[in-house]
Amino acid sequence: MKKRITLLSLFFLATATLFSCKKDETSLKARMIGKWTVNKIEVSGNSNQTLNGTFNYTANDYLDFKSNEDDQVELSLTNQRTIGNYTVSLGNDFGMIFPEGTSYCTVSTISGTQLQFTAKIDKTNIVKKYYLTR
């Protein structure tokens, strides 16, 4: 009888261990986390027309969604680094807060190697479409 109870206990312990450590790979945040190379950003809505258009970047330019407790996001473009925060909403929406303002973002494409989203900067007409890869 003791042998059966011990075996049954070990079975439940093993089962609980296997299923309790499941990694979240389906949420938007889980798929966004990590370093992405910025390929280009399409900007529209600036009152200064020279700030509108398509801006291409190199492999050194990146957007890094950190998995730390502060939900930091790091943007590095042409050797200028900016730190902000991000929050993920329901569906395909998230927000980024940088010194230039808050951006309300909607993901149009996300996969293991590609992320595309549109960001509207709060209280402006500025819209940026980001094209990222890993």
Catalogue all structural domains in the chain, each as residue range(s) with its CATH number: 25-133 (2.40.128.280)
pLDDT in tens, 30-44: 999 999 999 999 999
pLDDT in tens, 74-93: 999 999 999 999 999 888 99
Which pLDDT score is estimated for 9? Answer: 57
The pTM (predicted TM-score) of the whole model is 0.79
pLDDT in tens, 112-132: 999 999 999 999 999 999 999
φ and ψ at residue 58, rounded to 5 degrees: -105, 180
Nearest to 134 by CA among 67, 34, 57, 40: 34
